[in-house]
Amino acid sequence: MTLKSALLVAVGLACAAVAPAAAQDVPARIKSAGKVIVANQPNYPPMEYKDPATNTLKGLDIDLSLALAKQLGVTVEWADIGFEQMISSLTTGRADLIHSGMSDLPKRRDSLDFVDYMKSGAQFYTLADRKDEFKLPTDFCGKKVAMSRRTSFPDETAKWSKENCEAQGKPAVQVVGSEGSADARTQLKQGRVDGAVQGSETLPYLVGLEKDSYVIVGKPFTSLYQGIAFAKTEPGLRDAYVAALKTLMASGEYKKIFDSWGLADAMLDTVLVNSEPVK
């Protein structure tokens, strides 16, 4: 082998070493388009939101989605789609996947597959000036508590209330469905409700953002996973994302993203699909 050919081989090996590890697994139509269309509604900080100063997308989901796409050798085209329309956006081809703080729930698996990437849970909070009234979650028994009606929180809170309030002879939590987490906070500030429920991954950010405004009450009363959602008809794209997420976990980039948003406690040790570890 000549020196020139040896150098060419070395360059080829170096290029192969830095090529995205999962790029070869991307379905042909995605590879041809060079992009994935990601359904996302940026109203759930710190997972996804728009910076008011620059109007740019920010959040853990944003950073992770971009890192995964880079690993796959494609770009991201964001599709701002209302939460209620997200699932239909996959079945009609308006989006390739959903990455927008969506919980991996059994009832959603009839039409979706989830690549789970973090832990989450429902948690109570209230105004800081009412902290002496609400020291324990059970102090919300009989009280009005707001939460987004688009999420699983209303059902989960009603179930918690049956077990922790009504079963103990206390009045039930009065679940108040809101238009979203921002609306729940508005109702709380206006005194129309006594407390609110939000995802545990968002509350530390909220408390830090609006100092001395809110207080978290107790620990999360549910445990579930958030996942990137794919149509059942797209197992190839799902599996490509599994491979990409495994690579980010192994390289430390996954941890770096979670650390940057103060959510290290929400990380997973391994990739899950539909809440089951990937073999």
Phi/psi of residue 177, nearest 5 degrees: -75, 130
CA distance 257 to 226: 16
Check whether residue 187 and residue 232 sit in a common domain: no
pLDDT above 70: percentage of residues in the chain: 91
Query: pLDDT at residue 14 above 60?
Result: no
State residue 257's pLDDT score.
98
For 86, the domain range is 18-120+225-277
CATH of the domain at 247: 3.40.190.10
pLDDT for 257-271, tens place per residue? 999 999 998 999 999
State residue 8's pLDDT score.
42
Check whether residue 165 and residue 72 sit in a common domain: no
Query: pLDDT at residue 44 above 90?
Result: no
CA distance 279 to 277: 6
Q: Cα 19–22–24 angle (5° rounding)?
A: 80
Burial of 65 (0-12, 13-18, 19+ CB in 10 A): buried
pLDDT tier at 22, thresholds 50, 70, 90 = low
Check whether residue 41 and residue 112 sit in a common domain: yes
Check whether residue 232 and residue 104 sit in a common domain: yes
Residue 84 or 168, more confident: 168
Record the pTM. Answer: 0.81
State residue 43's pLDDT score.
86
pLDDT, mean of residues 236-244: 96
